[in-house]
Amino acid sequence: MIEHEAYTPGPASGAQVIKGEEKWTLILVRELRHSPEKVWQALTDPDHLREWAPFEADGSLGSVGTVQLTWMGTGRPLETKVTRADAPKVLEYNDTRWELEALGSGTRLTLWSNIDRRFISMGAAGWHISFDVLDRFLSGNPIGRIAGADAMKFEGWHRLNAEYAAQFGVVPPKWPPQAAQKS
């Protein structure tokens, strides 16, 4: 396993947003060198998700039904309804949609995720890093999950947050948040 310190994310790319009122939809596209079936397993199998995703699942996301997702750093599970699981093409649960499209011997993976507009650049930076970790995991060169507060410790995350904010035309939120000033 490669040490986290040796990992540096590439430049912000492959993302766009659809602006709503409070939530915006982040659309992030990544081309992977792995078959849709292999990527599907990584998106749905709880053991695979623990290697790269910013959450853990108490069951498979590969079929319609209810599972509990625990996002990194929250410590509390959230009931999640898988509403569509068309292997290996489309997976939908809560405010998230994954689409897998065969691309030669690989896969074009597209994520749609509804995120509070104030944190859209943070979400893009986090998913960008998760996609990098996913690609390395599927290639047999895992670097270990980098998500939540761990991701924000990387200078690369801060750079990505700023780059995505510029692309989306928003001011990147300061992280960690500044403590309230005492008068």
pLDDT at residue 155 in the model: 80
Query: What percent of the chain clears pLDDT 70, i.e. is strictly above it?
Result: 92
Strand ranges for the chain from DSSP E: 15-18, 23-32, 55-57, 65-71, 78-86, 90-93, 96-103, 106-116
Q: What is the pLDDT of residue 179?
A: 44
* 91 — pLDDT class (breaks 50, 70, 90): very high
Domain boundaries defined on the chain: 13-168
Question: What is the arithmetic mean of pLDDT over 23-50?
Answer: 98
Res 177: pLDDT: 57
Superfamily for the 13-168 domain: START domain (3.30.530.20)
Of 172, 142, 179, the closest CA to residue 157 belongs to: 172
Cα–chain-centroid distance for residue 54?
A: 6
Q: In this model, does residue 87 exceed pLDDT 50?
A: yes
Q: What is the mean pLDDT of residues 122-141?
A: 96
Task: For residue 88, count other CB atoms closer than 10 A to its CB.
Answer: 20
Whether residue 59 has pLDDT greater than 50: yes
pLDDT at 71: 95
The predicted model gives 88-110 an average pLDDT of 97
pLDDT > 60? residue 2: no
Model confidence band, residue 172 (pLDDT cutoffs 50, 70, 90)? confident
Give the per-residue pLDDT at 173: 77
Of 128 and 150, the structure prediction assigns the larger pLDDT to 128
Query: Does the structure show a pLDDT above 90 at 178?
Result: no
* More confident call, 33 vs 73: 33
pLDDT in tens, 146-164: 999 889 888 899 999 999 9
Question: Do the beta carbons of residue 160 and residue 26 sit within 8 Å?
Answer: no
pTM of the predicted model as reported, rounded to 2 decimal places? 0.91
